[in-house]
């Protein structure tokens, strides 16, 4: 079982469900000081109960000041951060027949702009830990295997995750001179409340505990691209580098036949 070395000061977002909940339980059990963030204070308090090393830091990712307030609370309590795991996000699928720009903006607000807000609040705390302790802090965020390959109905979700991956990989280059590392996490399908809403097959789906183990193992090794399950994500990565004509052909094979749906007047 993967274990993070030492007792670290960690900020975990999206801590109350799915992958985040599995990570929170593991990190608290290991004795790390963990700032737990999500929208619902009550759920966070329940998760933190019985753990003196837990800090409840609720936030709204789409509200920059809310995220900054959480960062200030963590600074007072921890005096810096050794590790940030930004896990929070959302998913909505687009029906191009009824193009919904509000949907796209909602998804980007949570998945991309929300991540920017967390990075904005976290970087001063990572720098503080580095300067005070001489350590090499780590910033990590959960993207998605969909960032590797354009997929039907994923215009909003996939693009928001691809933007996040690109942003973090660029940031990694600019932070290298500051001795701050960046890991990007690209999960395949994971059994969570979010994926339970999916209405399509999810090949090689894994449980949240399996995902947490893969993430912690990658973080301990400071892996640049943490992706799993590898038998699935390796295929997706390979498909993503095919010529555009072949990628289009594969994508069309996965696109729904909406002829009958149109006739019925349903989605």
**What are the tens digits of pLDDT across the range 136-186?**
999 999 999 999 999 999 999 999 999 999 999 999 999 999 999 999 999
- How far apart (Å, rounded) are the C-alpha atoms in residues 151 and 145? 11
Catalytic, out of 157, 167, 189, 228: 157
What is the rounded distance in angstroms from the CA atom of residue 239 to the CA atom of residue 187? 16
- Name all contacts of 50-54 with Cβ < 8 Å and 24+ positions apart: 53/28, 54/28
- Is 148 considered catalytic here? no
Name the domain count of the chain: 1
SS3 46: helix
User: Residue 43's domain is classified under what CATH number?
Assistant: 3.40.50.720
Instruction: For 42-98, write each residue's pLDDT tens digit.
Output: 999 999 999 999 999 999 999 999 999 999 999 999 999 999 999 999 999 999 999
Residue 264 within a domain? no
Name the nearest CA neighbour of 11 among 138, 128, 107: 138
For the chain, strand residue ranges (E) read 9-13, 33-37, 54-56, 83-86, 138-142, 181-187, 190-191, 206-207, 225-228
**Residue 142 counted as domain residue:** yes
What pLDDT, on the 0 to 100 scale, is given for residue 196? 74
215 lies in which domain range? 9-241
Q: How far is residue 202's CA from residue 199's CA, in Å, rounded to a whole number?
A: 9
Q: What is the pTM of this model?
A: 0.92
Note whether residue 55 is domain-resident: yes
């Amino acid at each position: 079982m993967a274990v993070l070395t030492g007792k670290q000061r960690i900020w975990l977002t999206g801590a109350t469900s799915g992958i985040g909940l599995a990570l929170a339980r593991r990190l608290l059990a290991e004795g790390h000081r963990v700032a737990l963030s999500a929208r619902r204070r009550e759920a966070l308090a329940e998760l933190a109960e019985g753990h003196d090393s837990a800090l409840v830091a609720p936030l709204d990712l789409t509200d920059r000041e809310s995220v900054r307030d959480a960062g200030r609370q963590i600074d007072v309590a921890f005096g810096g951060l050794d590790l940030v795991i930004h896990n929070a996000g959302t998913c909505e699928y687009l029906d191009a027949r009824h193009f919904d720009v509000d949907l796209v903006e909602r998804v980007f607000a949570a998945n991309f702009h929300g991540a920017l807000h967390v990075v904005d609040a976290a970087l001063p705390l990572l720098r503080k830990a580095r300067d005070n302790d001489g350590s090499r802090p780590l910033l990590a965020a959960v993207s998605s295997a969909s960032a590797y390959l354009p997929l039907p109905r994923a215009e909003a979700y996939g693009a928001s995750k691809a933007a996040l991956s690109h942003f973090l990989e660029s940031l990694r280059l600019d932070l290298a001179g500051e001795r701050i590392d960046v890991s990007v996490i690209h999960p395949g399908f994971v059994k969570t409340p979010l994926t339970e809403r999916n209405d399509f097959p999810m090949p090689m789906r894994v449980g949240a505990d399996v995902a947490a183990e893969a993430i912690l193992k990658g973080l301990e090794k400071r892996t640049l691209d943490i992706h799993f399950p590898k038998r699935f994500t390796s295929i997706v990565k390979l498909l993503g580098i095919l010529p555009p004509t072949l990628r289009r052909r594969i994508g069309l094979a996965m696109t729904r036949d909406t002829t009958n749906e149109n006739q019925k007047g349903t989605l």
